[in-house]
Amino acid sequence: MDTNLPVVVIGAGPVGLAAAAHLHERGLPFTVLEAGDGPAASVRQWGHVRLFSPWRYNIDTAARRLLTEQEWVEPDPDVLPTGAHLAADYLQPLADLPALKPHVRYGAQVVAVTRQGMDRVRTAGRETAPFLIRLTDGQELLARAVIDASGTWTTPNVLGASGIPAHGETNAAPYIEQALPDVLGTERDRFAGRRTLVAGAGHSAANTLLALADLAVQEPGTSVLWAIRSASPARTYGGETADALPARGALGSRLRAHVESGAVELVTGFAIHSLAPDGDRVAVSDGTRTYTVDRIVAATGFRPDHGLTSELRLDLDPILGSTRALAPLIDPNLHSCGTVPPHGVDELAHPEPGFYAIGVKSYGRAPTFLMATGYEQARSVVAALAGDWDAARDVRLDLPETGVCNSNPTADSDRIDADAGGCCGTLAAAPSGRGLATGISGGLLTAPLTLLPVLGQDSVDGQHGGGCAC
């Protein structure tokens, strides 16, 4: 294969731009294709949401080095950014760097990735044939390798309980909102004075429920219904005051308080079977119980779209849609975000040499993704493409030995304050190496993880939205 061909990165979000930064540092030619009109297009859609994790955990190492060379002022490491801050204060400056900007194309939506001159069946000459990437406008590019960091934001899960649309779901589309609407901001008028049903049991649902509860105080006639498939909301509440992540714990505590006060009406064991528009409202039923509401927020997660790579040889796990090697490491039936082992190029490889999906898309339907883990995926894959297999297989994620300490923050705090009480303290040093869990050097819970409640991705049962990221 022509080694002068670029590595094509699909997606200019956090992980895609991290891959670009590592490619630049390795001296490999690259092109980033972004469907949106600027970097982090998906992140900006949930820009009103505050992350659980402070800045110190949200910046890729190679990206930090490149930005620092250009006298970028790094945000306060203890501040919890919103998605908008993540995009404006980090991802936009990163994409605008002279080292990256000439290689990033916007409005470039990929519709297919294949091998030039061959489909999935043909074997002879396959490894030396360049990848062919086709865009919606018909343009085609050739590449030596492809890194798919396109994410899952544009492919939300359905409301139907069996993994297929509920009866009438297509006709009810005008009443349905995707996860994380800006309830208190730009989309306020869609919810004020109306009854809204939020479906889902993850952090995406929790964020929306809290915003709706606040709106109900401000706008008479606003009411909130929360529907989950499970028999208990305990998993959504999480560790509350015992949570190592104060912002995440506060989320569960506040939601529980709203449910107990009646500000949020909770319906358990509710698996949506049908939706029936009724004038300006829609009836939602599980086959036994029916609730009529004005709006529905589908916080039921997201799915990976492998359609654009259907002519590549992918070894996908039949349950999660990740690689088969990665699936047992991220299975939500066995793991939370805090017990996913570190992983890199070997776990991300497919039978199609030179193709890798990284970031949240690499996890398929598992909600156990960490943004910092995505950065480590990018580093490992790029090292392999550069031929540095020792670095590629030295997979680790070194986080500070003192974790997020303030266990009782104010509800709307935007900082992690180590002196505010409940400090975790310094943990005993552990030997470095491939971590047992969480990707942290030294193994299980060497430091508390920092998670992000934004991507709304489901567990296998479709109800634990809110992919994690740090």
Task: Tell the burial category of 258 from Cβ atoms under 10 Å away from its Cβ (0-12, 13-18, 19+).
Answer: buried
Task: Classify residue 436: in a domain, yes or no.
Answer: no
Same domain for 223 and 286, yes or no, is yes
Task: Classify residue 289: in a domain, yes or no.
Answer: yes
Same domain for 64 and 31, yes or no, is yes
Task: Classify residue 404: in a domain, yes or no.
Answer: no
Among residues 50, 63, 52, 82, which one has the least CA distance to residue 15? 63
Q: Which uninterrupted H or E stretch holds 10? A: strand 7-10
Q: Does 272 or 336 have the greater pLDDT score?
A: 272
Q: What is the CA radius of gyration of the chain?
A: 22
pLDDT over 50 at 348, yes or no:
yes
Least confident piece of the model among 62-71, 301-310, 366-375: 366-375
pLDDT over 70 at 442, yes or no:
no
pLDDT over 90 at 312, yes or no:
yes
Helices and strands (H, E) in the chain, number of each type: 12, 16
| Structural domains of the chain, count | 2
Same domain for 24 and 106, yes or no, is yes
Per-residue pLDDT tens for 225-278? 999 999 988 877 865 454 545 555 577 889 999 999 999 999 999 999 999 999
Same domain for 294 and 313, yes or no, is no
Same domain for 116 and 228, yes or no, is no
Least confident piece of the model among 32-46, 201-215, 443-457: 443-457
Structure tokens at 190: 């869609």
Same domain for 187 and 255, yes or no, is yes
3-class SS string, 399-433: CCCECCCCCCCCCCCCECCCCCCCCCCECCCCCCC
Check which CATH number belongs to the domain holding 45 and give it: 3.50.50.60
The pTM of the full predicted model, rounded to 2 decimals, is: 0.85
Q: Does 287 or 402 have the greater pLDDT score?
A: 287
Per-residue model confidence (pLDDT) at position 402? 28
Among residues 413, 376, 381, which one has the least CA distance to residue 395? 376
Q: Does 450 or 168 have the greater pLDDT score?
A: 168
Mean pLDDT throughout 370-380? 93
Least confident piece of the model among 98-102, 196-200, 381-385, 407-411: 407-411
pLDDT over 60 at 194, yes or no:
yes
Same domain for 126 and 47, yes or no, is yes
Find the DSSP H helices in 8-138: 14-25, 41-45, 61-69, 83-86, 92-95
Structure tokens at 6: 């670029």
pLDDT over 80 at 443, yes or no:
no
Per-residue model confidence (pLDDT) at position 77? 92
Q: What is the percent of the chain where pLDDT is above 90? A: 71
pLDDT over 90 at 334, yes or no:
no
pLDDT over 70 at 101, yes or no:
yes
Per-residue model confidence (pLDDT) at position 237? 80
Q: Mean pLDDT, the chain, as a whole number?
A: 84
In which band, very low, low, confident or very high, does the pLDDT at 290 lie, cut at 50, 70 and 90?
very high
Enumerate the β-bridge partners of residue 105: 33
Per-residue pLDDT tens for 56-89? 889 999 999 999 999 999 999 999 899 999 999 9
In which band, very low, low, confident or very high, does the pLDDT at 53 lie, cut at 50, 70 and 90?
confident
Per-residue model confidence (pLDDT) at position 467? 44
In which band, very low, low, confident or very high, does the pLDDT at 203 lie, cut at 50, 70 and 90?
confident
Task: Classify residue 85: in a domain, yes or no.
Answer: yes
Per-residue model confidence (pLDDT) at position 19? 98
Mean pLDDT throughout 9-13? 98
Same domain for 294 and 336, yes or no, is no
Mean pLDDT throughout 377-394? 97
Query: What's the rounded Cα separation, in Å, for the pair 27 and 251?
Result: 43
Q: Which uninterrupted H or E stretch holds 133? A: strand 131-135
Residue at a domain's end among 235, 266, 298: 298
pLDDT over 80 at 13, yes or no:
yes
Mean pLDDT throughout 177-199? 97
Mean pLDDT throughout 205-223? 96
Task: Classify residue 442: in a domain, yes or no.
Answer: no
Range of the domain at 184: 173-298
